[in-house]
A and B are shown apart, each in its own frame.
Chain A
Amino acid sequence: MPIQYYIALASALFCIGVVGVLTRRNAIIVFMCIELMLNAVNLLLVAFSKMHYAKAAAAGAVTTAGTEGQLFVFFIMVVAAAEVSVGLAIIVMMYRNVHSVDVNFLNRLKN
């Protein structure tokens, strides 16, 4: 498949994530949208990695071009897992105090 399709799909996923983060108020859903953004990035990284490999392979010679893109994906997954553990803990801490996961709820409480 041409790389444009991957770029289009990943951008679509990424934009859905961004719009979700900016418009939704439920902390869990905002959080899911952030994960969606990260996964769009993962998809695109793998696609680019394949593209760079194909380009180098077409020029002849055995090559390791593009492997770093796939390695980056592993780092993103690990860091995302660390972020999830901290993020969910923060959301649970908030839920215990106010029994709600609405992002704007605390704003209202303050006034």
Chain B
Amino acid sequence: MNAIIIAAISGVIMMFSSVFINNKGAYRHIAAVLLLVLLGANIADTYGHHFFHIDVKGMLRFDRFGFLFNSIAIAATFIYVVLTGRSMEKIGKYTAEYFVLIFFVLCGICVLGCYNNLLMLFLGIEIMSIPLYILTGADKRNLKGNEAALKYFLMGSFSTGLMLMGITLIYGATGSFALNGIQLSKAMGGTSPAAGGPFLLESVGLILMLVSIGFKVSAAPFHFWTPDVYDGAPSVFTSFMATIVKAAGFIAFIKLFDARAGGSSVDVNAYTGVDWKMLFAFIIVATLLVGNITAVFQQSVKRMLAYSSIAQAGFMLFALFSLNDLAKEGLILYAAAYSLATIGIFAILVKMKDYTFEGYNGLGKTQPVLAAANTIFLLSLAGIPLTAGFFAKYYMLASVVKTGSYLWLVIVGVLFAAVSVYYYFRVIQAMYFKDGESETEEVSTGFKTGLVILAAIIVLFGVLPQSLLNWFYF
């Protein structure tokens, strides 16, 4: 509760700071301080210090999983603001308002971390999405930005419509919006798939929810908006959208389907009449295929990262496929590893003058620190050992192995991870083994230090993943 309320208040404070303070540089310092306060409040909440006592009537449920994810999201946003806050000042006149919107997005993410009712799921996703539509179109004169904002908005509200229909049908079948109430109809009637009536409504409802959240996390075949939006939006905001927001979508996703399966995954198929495992397996393979294969052919690093984010979404979907404890731990680790590495890569990308692969030629000579940090981030995304990405992928695949079936899915995952190495290494190859004068904007020492610290965190999680996951239990 602390995080939700303080995030909203922080947004309002930022709004007023734009009225009273005219110094552009001051905004990101205020935002960084507020984010630290937010992080502190959330950690205090985790250990039982509640600043606000509100009866939520069971619509929100506060557990370690949600708190841990919220802490990661807030910490990642802090790193994001510290590294790229300065670049935000170049986009438009309204720097403070961008931070306001980021705080409101965080508020939505915190709701998603602990929702226990479909109404809160809907509100969380909307609180998260609406500010993002504005951020996407922040660069008002840029036609590509306009297109991205329009596409993102239309696709976003379309998928919201689908989700609402899904929620309504589930409500019709079960008479409740509570997350654990979804299983109600199983208790009311038999478990045979041919029962019809409420079962049909419920299956259709759940499939609509699946489609809608598939849109939100850009899983194939609902990914087509992603490359245009990520490419068209200002790079600083793409960084935010592709990482923290996407991870939050997955957290919402896993909470929903975890409650549905209720721990056991056997009778789910029987009572909805849909083979869920097969459906998820299809989505995973399609997402990995589309993301990885298309990323290979990109010329622009930014667009390659857009497709790579689809490919990484494919890996996060493994957690939704297996839905066990290992999957939950793995998803948290994956969210942290993927978000931090991608934030780092984007922080370097916005400093580049040229976004194509050629633009990185010779970066190893002109900016050795940037190139070294970028290498670590790319290795982490590719899943090379000693980086956080390795254990993230390991947990994902291990969770599927633990379910005991669909082992071919693990093999497919490993093969596509190998494909992904190709396009990540193209950047590394350009930086170190090709001659050229890659031009960057002015890089401050503070920025370099930030990157080194971020790279160190990623290596730390790669060597000791338990340093993050133990927070579940202590």
Contact = CB atoms under 8 A, between A and B. Distances in A.
A27 B164 contact: no
Interface of A: 3, 7, 14, 17-18, 21, 27, 30-31, 34, 37-38, 40-41, 44-45, 48, 51-52, 55, 65-66, 68-69, 71-72, 75-76, 79, 82-83, 86-87, 89-91, 93-94, 97-98, 103, 106-107, 109-110
B21 interface: no
12 contacts: A37-B158, A37-B165, A41-B164, A41-B165, A48-B171, A79-B122, A82-B126, A82-B130, A87-B154, A90-B133, A93-B146, A94-B149
Contacts of A86: 130, 133-134, 153
Interface string B169-206: 10110011100000000000000000000000000000
Contacts of A71: 119
B161 A41 contact: yes
Contacts of B157: 31, 34, 83, 87
Interface of B: 119, 122-123, 126, 130, 133-134, 137, 140-141, 143-144, 146-147, 149-151, 153-154, 157-158, 160-162, 164-165, 167-169, 171-172, 175-177
B164 A76 contact: yes
B126 A91 contact: no
Contacts of A106: 143-144, 146-147, 150
B161 A69 contact: no
Contacts of B130: 82-83, 86
Main secondary structure of the interface of A (DSSP, over half): helix
A87 B153 contact: yes
A68 B178 CA distance: 10
Contact of B146 (A21, A44, A94): A94
A72 B119 contact: yes
A34 B150 contact: no
A34 B172 contact: no
Contacts of B143: 97-98, 106, 109-110
Main secondary structure of the interface of B (DSSP, over half): helix
B104 to A, nearest CB: 11
B146 A34 contact: no
A16 B419 CA distance: 41
A34 to B, nearest CB: 5
A107 B147 contact: yes
B177 A68 contact: yes
Give the residue among A17, A38, A48, A98 with the most B Cβ atoms within 10 A.
Answer: A48
Contact of B149 (A21, A48, A90, A109): A90
B171 A21 contact: no
Nearest to A101: B150
Given A34-B154, A69-B171, 4 more contacts: A14-B161, A38-B161, A71-B119, A87-B157
Contacts of B144: 106, 110
> Which 6 pairs show the lowest CB-CB distances between chains A and B?
A37-B161, A106-B147, A48-B172, A41-B164, A52-B175, A94-B146
A83 B126 contact: yes
Give the residue among B133, B137, B158 with the most A Cβ atoms within 10 A.
Answer: B158
B47 to A, nearest CB: 32
Contacts of B133: 86-87, 90
A106 to B, nearest CB: 4
Contacts of A66: 175
A80 to B, nearest CB: 9
B159 to A, nearest CB: 10
Contacts of A109: 143
